[in-house]
């Protein structure tokens, strides 16, 4: 159903990016989708699977932006109402995009945790759309159906992690179509809640001070944690400055405008390559022989502040 509504996104190599990174890199350009983010895939799948209660009462969710647009799209496709609670930290451009899709936006709380609690209080029973709803995860997984059908030979794919739905979908599809491919998660060290949860095996909370709004989760998610622990080959933390540097690489070497979360996968790859370069020659040789890698540019909804930082050397 997702394939019927959305065209497959480009999977493209960029020679200048390869040279800058020191590896054969394929970029999955999800930012070209209608809402500027891979998360619209979840909204399309959700729209086709709404319950009678959801159709009668409308949808309520919380998000810093891209999931919000996904649910707003679902409501629009299904002809139902949607309310999105966004924290005060949500970028204005994303608030406006949600409203343009026809959803009602409520601003509440300093962070995602406060906004989520308020959204649950507003929702009718059974009508709160959790960002990690299984229907959302399955919609997001279609990205990786496209990716692994096109390139089952990938050595690794780097995936940014906020709630973890994209990475969970990557692991599910990888296990079937490309079992030798490593799925590597990437999160900002300024919002490490999911990384901490992955390390400990229990849902943990942590402050989110990252500039990358799409990664600004304050707690792990029980519904994706098990999949991430079972499926991720590694989980990297990168700095916000690393993410900005990766966004500049995408802009100057791959003609791609990415928001922070959309550049995080490349930041993880660059950090990984730097670590490998510091290792011994045998490790470097194995990395070079492993094959091509992919990074997922999950979103292009860059704020004015993010665009301005592209010019900072």
Q: Rounded to whole angstroms, how far apart are CA atoms 159 and 265?
A: 5
Q: Rounded to whole angstroms, how far apart are CA atoms 158 and 44?
A: 24
Q: Rounded to whole angstroms, how far apart are CA atoms 24 and 26?
A: 7
Q: According to CATH, what is the number of the domain 2-37+134-309?
A: 3.40.50.1100
Q: State the helix-helix crossing angle for 281-289 and 260-278, rounded to 10 degrees.
A: 130
Residues 6 or more apart whose Cβ sits within 8 Å of residue 55: 78, 80
Q: Rounded to whole angstroms, how far apart are CA atoms 190 and 201?
A: 20
Give the pair of three-digit tokens for residue 49.
Answer: 């699977």
How many of the other CB atoms lie within 10 Å of CB of 51? 10
DSSP E strands in 6-155: the ranges are: 11-13, 25-29, 59-62, 82-86, 104-107
Residues 6 or more apart whose Cβ sits within 8 Å of residue 124: 53, 57, 58, 60
The distance between the two most distant Cα atoms of the chain, rounded to a whole number of Å, is 62
pLDDT tens sequence across 283-292: 444 455 578 9
Q: In which element (H, E) is residue 198 found?
A: helix 193-200
- The domain over range 40-122 is classified in CATH as 3.40.50.1100: yes
Residue 271: φ, ψ to 5°: -65, -40
Residue 196: φ, ψ to 5°: -65, -40
The parts of the chain modelled with pLDDT lower than 50 are: 282-286
Q: Which residues pair with 26 in a beta bridge?
A: 13, 294
Q: What is the residue extent of each domain of the chain?
A: 2-37+134-309, 40-122
Dihedral of alpha carbons 220, 172, 185, 36, sign: negative
Name which of 134, 131, 137 is nearest 113 in CA terms: 131
Name which of 169, 133, 119, 168 is nearest 46 in CA terms: 133
Q: In which element (H, E) is residue 170 found?
A: helix 165-177
The reply to whether 2-37+134-309 and 40-122 are identical in fold is yes
Q: What is the DSSP letter of 79?
A: T
Task: Decide if 119 contacts 85 (C-beta within 8 A).
Answer: yes
Residues 6 or more apart whose Cβ sits within 8 Å of residue 277: 22, 284
CA dihedral 45, 47, 51, 57 (to 10 degrees): 150
The pLDDT, as a whole number, for residue 89 is 86
How many of the other CB atoms lie within 10 Å of CB of 11? 16
For the chain, the first-to-last Cα distance in angstroms comes to 44
pLDDT tens sequence across 108-145: 998 888 999 999 999 999 999 999 999 999 999 999 99
Q: Rounded to whole angstroms, how far apart are CA atoms 115 and 233?
A: 32
């Amino acid at each position: 159903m997702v394939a019927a509504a959305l065209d497959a996104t480009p999977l493209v190599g960029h020679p200048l990016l390869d040279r800058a990174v020191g590896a054969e890199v394929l970029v999955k350009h999800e930012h070209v989708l209608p809402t500027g983010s891979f998360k619209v895939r979840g909204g399309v799948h959700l729209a086709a699977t709404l319950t009678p209660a959801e159709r009668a009462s409308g949808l309520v969710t919380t998000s810093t932006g891209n999931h919000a647009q996904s649910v707003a799209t679902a409501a629009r496709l299904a002809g139902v109402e949607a309310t999105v609670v966004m924290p005060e930290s949500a970028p204005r451009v994303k608030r406006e995009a949600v409203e343009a899709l026809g959803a009602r936006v409520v601003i509440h709380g300093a962070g995602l945790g406060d906004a989520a609690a308020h959204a649950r209080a507003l929702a009718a029973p059974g009508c709160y759309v959790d960002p990690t709803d299984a229907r959302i995860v399955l919609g997001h997984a279609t990205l990786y159906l496209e990716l692994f059908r096109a390139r089952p030979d990938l050595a690794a794919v780097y995936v940014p992690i906020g709630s973890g739905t994209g990475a969970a979908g990557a692991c599910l599809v990888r296990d079937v179509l490309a079992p030798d491919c490593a799925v590597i998660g990437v999160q900002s060290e300024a919002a490490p809640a999911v990384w901490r949860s992955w390390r400990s095996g229990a849902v943990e909370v942590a402050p989110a001070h990252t500039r990358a709004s799409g990664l600004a989760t304050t707690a792990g998610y029980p519904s994706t944690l098990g999949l991430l622990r079972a499926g991720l080959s590694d989980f990297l933390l990168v700095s916000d400055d690393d993410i900005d540097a990766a966004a500049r690489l995408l802009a100057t070497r791959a003609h791609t405008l990415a928001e922070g979360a959309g550049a995080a996968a490349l930041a993880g790859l660059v950090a990984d390559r730097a670590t490998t370069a510091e290792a011994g020659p045998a490790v470097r040789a194995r990395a070079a022989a492993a094959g091509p890698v992919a990074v997922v540019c999950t979103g292009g909804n860059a704020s004015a502040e993010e665009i301005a930082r592209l010019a900072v050397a």
